[in-house]
Amino acid sequence: MSRSRLLDAHSQSGIAPEFLVSPEMLDAVSPSGDRGGMVLGSGMKNEPLTVSVLRPAPTRIVCVGGLYLARQVALRAMATGAWVVVATARPAAWQVLARAAGDGPDGRPTPLVQIRRLNPVELPRATEDGPLLVIHDGGSTPQELFPPRSAWQTTVYVLPYLHPQASTTANSADLVLLQRQPVGQAQLAARIWRLPPPLVQQLTTLKDDQVVALGRNLWRPLRLITTPREKQILGPVRRGD
């Protein structure tokens, strides 16, 4: 699947894998899209747009702008049955995912979500029935601790802002999700991705609930769709931490 097919307008074709999740988790998210994608936002005509976050290929995604967007992506991946491993220096900021996952039949926290320090660890084996989402929340210049090596494994790099030393990570991504950027950051984005002036200007004027999906042959502004239950878990849509 090419980068340009990572994000699609929602259609009714295709069959997604089936997973067992709690009713509370289903209440928290928007409906899944085709080909196992998840609805992340709506387009200019209010059409739902799906993002193929979990797919049969090693995948890298970069989120630039703050925690809210990354946690929303993780929450929706959990609802499709994905294992979520969060490597972070601020574990308290991710406990909302563990609480949202709930407890197992034995009353202990479900292993669906693992929150760890920024150290290499052995990861669960990713499969079509048990895809793996690894969140790397290691600041603006992340190390490659958990590169995606197999099908159905996706690594999401959470960048609070763009840094020149993160250009390798940014350029290797299959999909980049950009929230509003200050002028200096937008100019750096222009150098990293060779953006023309109109797109650079657009980056500086996005609203808090707007995101640009960037990839090969892809520039797609979208508006985040957040359910009432997600707002209870994550708070209001916002940019920054």
For residue 158, is it within any domain?
yes
Total structural domains in the chain? 1
Q: pLDDT tens, position by position, for the chain (241 residues)? A: 444 456 665 443 333 333 333 444 334 444 444 445 788 889 878 888 888 889 999 999 999 988 999 999 999 898 888 999 999 999 999 999 988 887 767 777 677 899 999 988 888 889 998 999 999 998 888 888 887 889 999 999 999 999 998 888 888 899 999 999 999 999 999 999 999 999 999 999 999 999 999 988 889 999 998 888 888 999 888 887 7
Q: What is the pTM of this model?
A: 0.84
For residue 239, is it within any domain?
no
For residue 71, is it within any domain?
yes
For residue 48, is it within any domain?
yes
Sheet holding 153-159, edge to edge: 7-9, 48-51, 38-42, 218-224, 210-215, 175-178, 59-64, 153-159, 132-137, 83-88, 113-116
For residue 152, is it within any domain?
yes
Domain membership of residue 25 as a residue range: 3-234
CATH assignment at residue 113: 3.40.50.300
For residue 241, is it within any domain?
no
For residue 94, is it within any domain?
yes
